[in-house]
Amino acid sequence: MNRSREGVAIRRVEPADAPRLAELLTQLGYPATADEVSDRLKYWVHDPKSVVLVAERHGQVVGCLSLHAIPYLERTGQWARIESLIVDESARGEGLGRSLVAAAESTAREWGCLAMEVTSSRARADAHAFYVQMGYVDHCDQAGRFFKTLD
């Protein structure tokens, strides 16, 4: 995969990208080291229905998106979930997020997914506006999202 738009190449993550992904995660409020990200990427690279995409411009990773497909039990098919989307603070508003989401949606279609989901903290109003512009609908009035940390 190497989709290019407006001087930006979208490609699969490589192990050498770990330090830059650590910087991006830290920017978004999830502090991480390169070693931690390198270990986390091992979860993703061997799963055929998971992918981490990066947006690269002029040889520099300026964004990333992680995507995973999940099978339904209640109906035939599967759906995809954007687990994370990060665009470098200095590059926001330039269409990189749109390019990453478009690549993720294309990948999900290739996997045969019927729908896409993304979750976002209620504190991220700009992100919510972005997802609405991309055609996503906030369904929180129809379903709850419950979370439990396991010991």
pLDDT in tens, 5-27: 558 899 999 999 999 999 999 99
Q: Tell me, yes or no, whether 150 lies in a domain.
A: no
Q: What pLDDT score was predicted for residue 94? A: 86
Query: Distance between CA 4 and CA 10 in Å, rounded?
Result: 6
Q: What pLDDT score was predicted for residue 142? A: 73
Total number of residues shown for the chain: 151
Q: Tell me, yes or no, whether 71 lies in a domain.
A: yes
Q: Tell me, yes or no, whether 147 lies in a domain.
A: no
**Radius of gyration (Cα) for the chain, nearest Å?**
15
Q: For residue 39, which amino acid is it?
A: D
| 53 pLDDT tier (thresholds 50, 70, 90) | very high
Is 1's pLDDT higher than 70?
Answer: no
32-48 average pLDDT score: 94
Q: Tell me, yes or no, whether 119 lies in a domain.
A: yes
Structure tokens at 2: 């190497």
Q: Give the strands of the sheet with 78-87, arranged side by side.
A: 2-5, 8-12, 50-57, 60-71, 78-87, 113-118
CATH of the domain at 33: 3.40.630.30
Could you give the number of structural domains in the chain? Answer: 1
Q: Tell me, yes or no, whether 94 lies in a domain.
A: yes
Q: Tell me, yes or no, whether 66 lies in a domain.
A: yes
Q: Could you list the residue range(s) of the whole structural domain that residue 100 is in? A: 2-133
Is 130's pLDDT higher than 80?
Answer: no
Per-residue pLDDT tens digits for 74-128: 999 999 999 999 999 888 888 899 999 999 999 999 999 999 998 876 777 677 6
Q: What pLDDT score was predicted for residue 151? A: 81
Q: What pLDDT score was predicted for residue 6? A: 59
CA distances from 15 to 1, 12, 37, 39 (A): 16, 10, 9, 10
Q: What pLDDT score was predicted for residue 2? A: 46
31-60 average pLDDT score: 94
Is 148's pLDDT higher than 80?
Answer: no
Is 3's pLDDT higher than 60?
Answer: no
